Structure 1
Amino acid sequence: MSTNFASRPRGVYDIVVALFCALLLISNVSAVKLIQFGPDVEVFGFPILPIITDGGAFLFPLTYILGDVLAEVYGMKGAKRAIFIGFAVSVLASITFLIVGAAPPAADWGNQAAFEAILGFVPRIVAASVLGYLAGQLLNAWVLVKLKQRTKEGSLWARLLGSTVVGEAADTIIFCVVAFAGIITGGTLLNYILVGYIYKVLIEIIFLPVTYQVITFVKRREPSYETPAR
């Protein structure tokens, strides 16, 4: 009797989804740390400096770039599948950290307090990330798909920027409020929201040439992708 194996799909959807989920998980854990740049500066009582963000800011914007790739190439159905896989993996990570943190430590392991201080906060970060991410990514995909139905293969830049402006607004506001309300307040919280939003949109703008290349690369390697005849 011969040994049977399932054939691997010819496209690259699974690779894009794997990267999407990996970046999401790394960002969730990194977001535990708040980061501050610059001295204290206020204008009319509103804190302009320092710039306050979190560790997730380094990689999380890249999930929106991959989200754009998913929506542009695979449509709303393919994007939603990836988004919900990311949701499930994030929830699993949160539950796992919670259970491990609650489990009794070994007698000669002295890092329980450190574990709880960092990963013990992850469930709230993940809750904030999941809520913001679901709203933001779904809106991002929906706006991009709707714009593509109007523009077809043209004006990709408008789809990428338009979807990001809407999706990142929802994501940033929900994440910042759920994750840090009560921990940082007032003008500091507003500073955190505005800086995070502007930063993420700027990253999308800066990475537009890269996003174009990635989308082109993925489209060429998807046998089922159909480009309308010119």
Structure 2
Amino acid sequence: MTALDRRDFTIALVAMTIVVLASNILVQYPFEAWGLQDYFTWGAFTYPFSFLVTELANRRFGPKGARKVVYVGFVLAVALSIILATPRIAIASGSAFLTAQLLDIGIFSRLRNMAWWLPPFASSTISAAVDTTIFFSFAFYCGAIPGIGLTIDQVLAQAGITDQCIALPWVTLGLADYGVKLALSVFSILPYGVVLRLMSPGLAQRATV
């Protein structure tokens, strides 16, 4: 890896860690302006940018490099979230993040040679739905798990993790959050295109497996 590669990888890693950590903290705070506290949290407006970081890393380093950004960012963000957020939020975020980001990389890689705007839009649209479902159902659902009869708190307690569920309307929050992610995925097409044009043609089309 060249000095330029190391610099860009560090930038991507720092950006990913900041976005995910900030989102894990902000998701605990409902967006109360205009009576929207039952539909949005502040994290809804920051987390979608993690997909932009992943997609730019995919263009810059290829799928293999993008996975490294996701893996290292995952470890750092979850570790810091346990300290600055809550264990339950950290686990929910880590599970959703890792699953959705790896799905994002896979979809993007399959579409990378199509129209420049299609890979980031399609991959973020699909992976954001998976991310939202996993995160909100785990983080804010306080009832018993169907088929198990135990709450998530009780399951965590059996693993030695003590945490208390934050009772928020997770279904409406999840639907609204996904709507924000879709809107921001469209909005982020422009900065994605700008950064892509700043890359050399070789870097922009790199497809290392």
Change in Cα spacing, 1:94 to 1:207, as seen in structure 2 (3 Å) is closer
| Structure 2 residue matching 1:34: 3-state secondary structure | coil
Per the alignment, residue 10 of structure 1 pairs with 4
TM-score norm. by structure 2 comes to: 0.77
Counterpart for residue 86 of structure 1: 73
1:173 to 126, 133, 136: 133
Kindly tell me: are residues 191 and 94 of structure 1, through their superposed partners in 2, closer, same or farther at Cα, counting changes over 3 Å? closer
Aligned length: 181
Cα distance, 1:35 vs. partner?
2.3
Q: Which protein has the larger Cα radius of gyration, Structure 1 or Structure 2?
A: 1
**Change in 2 beyond 3 A, CA 1:157/1:8:** closer
Instruction: Give CA-to-partner distance per residue, 1:119-158, whole Å, 9 cap, x none.
Output: 4x5221111111111111111111000112xxx2x40211
**How far did 1:199 drift?**
0.7
Q: Which residue of 2 is the match for residue 225 of structure 1?
A: 203
> What is the RMSD computed on CA atoms of the aligned residues?
2.4
* CA displacement, residues 64-114 of structure 1 (integer Å, 9 cap, x when unaligned): 11111112222211111011111111232144x2xxxxxxxxxxxxxxxxx
Amino acid at match of 2:88: R
Deviations 1:158-179 (A, max 9, x none): 1111101111001011111111
**2:178 matched to which residue of 1?**
197
Identity over aligned pairs, percent = 24
Opposite residue 25 of structure 2, the aligned amino acid is V
Deviation at 1:58, TM superposition (A): 2.4
- Aligned residue among 89, 92, 104 for 1:128: 92
Q: CA deviation at 1:50?
A: 6.2
| Misfit runs of 4+, over 4 Å | none
Which residue is equivalent to 1:116?
none
State which drifts further: 52-61 or 176-185.
176-185
* Contact map agreement 2:92 2:139 (CA 8 A) in 1: yes
Over 3 Å counting, the alpha-carbon distance change for 1:170 and 1:227 in structure 2 is: closer
Whether the 8 Å CA contact 1:51–1:195 is kept in 2: the answer is no
Tell me, what secondary structure is at the counterpart of 1:140? helix
Cα separation, 1, equivalents of 2:15 and 2:77: 14
Distance 2:204 2:132 in 1: 34
How many angstroms apart in 2 are the aligned matches of 1:227 and 1:133? 25
How far does residue 212 in structure 1 lie from its aligned partner after superposition?
0.8
In structure 2, distance between residues paired with 1:227 and 1:50? 42
Using the TM superposition, give the Cα deviation of residue 8 of structure 1 relative to its aligned residue in structure 2, in angstroms: 6.8
* Unaligned stretches of 5+ residues in structure 1: 1-6, 40-48, 98-118
Kept in 1, the 8 Å contact 2:45–2:180? The answer is no
SS at match of 2:40: strand
Q: Which structure shows the bigger proportion of residues in strand conformation?
A: 1
Q: Does 1:158 align with 2:118?
A: yes
Match for residue 110 of structure 2 among 137, 141, 146: 146
In 1, distance between residues paired with 2:195 and 2:86? 31
What letter matches 2:96 in structure 1?
Answer: G
How far apart are the structure 2 equivalents of 1:175 and 1:226?
32
